[in-house]
């Protein structure tokens, strides 16, 4: 199966600081790749570079085999890449429904419309006329994800889904995500600090350290020690020789 998203040797910097260093990976349709790593590892910059919000200095981003590296962010949304940024970035004075309508893709492109968004996130139904500024963190996160989905993306980039949310809000958002992952034929790249949740929701997991992917594998085949060691840049201690 051809990967829907291909990242090849991507390099992205903030001034003199190289935040992403020759990162390469592929994600197939229907697959979830979880990205983990400490603060400053380059995860957010990587997602922004894929979405077109941060210009890379080298490497390529391909969508269904087409090079979109120099395509502007709004045009990438139209082609099927949607980013849910860290901090949600909603329009605070608009209602929940208005935030979704602003992002809604053209009629006829995909089947995920406003009513499906409210169905996927039941907590938003009663809030559709409320201004985004008055919502709780969990309600804002659900609105941000729904806003991305109404563009009918083929690749969904989720940055720090559970950051700053109360445990109940995290549970509600992830329940909706589990249902969406099962239903929608999306490729998802998920940045998540909670390792347990990252392993539970993804098929593939990659750990970033100082701008590079230092560990990648099937989520079900990686143990916590491997990921923790990669997260902190530690080496797994050598196994002791069996007694003779």
CA distance 137 to 45: 23
Q: How many domains does the chain have?
A: 1
Q: Is residue 240 part of a domain?
A: no
Please tell me the predicted confidence (pLDDT) of residue 174.
82
Distances (CA, A) of 171 to 34, 39, 159, 178, 180: 17, 23, 17, 10, 14
Please tell me the predicted confidence (pLDDT) of residue 172.
81
Q: Is residue 118 part of a domain?
A: yes
Q: Is residue 108 part of a domain?
A: yes
Q: Is residue 242 part of a domain?
A: no
Alpha carbons within 13 angstroms on the beta-carbon side of residue 62 total: 18
CB of 188 closer than 8 Å to CB of 156: yes
Q: Is residue 150 part of a domain?
A: yes
CA distance 69 to 59: 8
Please tell me the predicted confidence (pLDDT) of residue 237.
42
CA distance 3 to 210: 26
Query: Which of the residues in the chain have pLDDT under 70?
Result: 1, 105-110, 184, 235-244
Please tell me the predicted confidence (pLDDT) of residue 91.
93
Q: Is residue 238 part of a domain?
A: no
Please tell me the predicted confidence (pLDDT) of residue 105.
61
Which residues make Cβ contacts (< 8 Å) with residue 134, sequence separation at least 6? none
CATH number at 188 reads 3.40.50.300
Please tell me the predicted confidence (pLDDT) of residue 26.
96
CA distance 128 to 98: 8
Please tell me the predicted confidence (pLDDT) of residue 184.
66
Please tell me the predicted confidence (pLDDT) of residue 116.
87
Q: Is residue 241 part of a domain?
A: no
């Amino acid at each position: 199966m051809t990967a829907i998203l291909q990242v090849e040797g991507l390099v992205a910097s903030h001034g003199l600081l190289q935040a992403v260093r020759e990162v390469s990976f592929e994600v197939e349709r229907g697959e979830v790749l979880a990205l983990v790593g400490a603060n400053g590892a380059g995860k957010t910059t990587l997602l922004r570079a894929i979405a077109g919000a941060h210009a890379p200095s080298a490497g390529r981003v391909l969508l269904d085999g087409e090079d979109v590296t120099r395509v502007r962010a709004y045009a990438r949304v139209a082609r099927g890449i949607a980013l849910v940024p860290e901090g949600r970035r909603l329009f605070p004075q608009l209602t929940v429904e208005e935030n979704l309508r602003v992002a809604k893709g053209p009629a006829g492109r995909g089947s995920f419309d406003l009513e499906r968004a409210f169905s996927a996130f039941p907590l938003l139904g009663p809030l559709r006329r409320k201004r985004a500024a008055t919502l709780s963190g969990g309600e804002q996160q659900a609105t941000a994800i729904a806003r991305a989905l109404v563009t009918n993306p083929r690749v969904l980039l989720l940055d720090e889904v559970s950051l700053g949310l109360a445990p109940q809000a995290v549970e509600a958002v992830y329940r909706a995500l589990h249902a969406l992952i099962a239903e929608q034929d999306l490729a998802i790249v998920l940045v998540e600090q909670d390792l347990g949740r990252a392993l539970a929701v993804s098929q593939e997991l990659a750990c970033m350290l100082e701008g590079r992917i230092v560990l990648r594998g099937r989520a079900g085949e990686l143990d916590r020690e491997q990921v923790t060691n990669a997260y902190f840049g530690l080496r797994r201690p050598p196994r002791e020789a069996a007694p003779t």
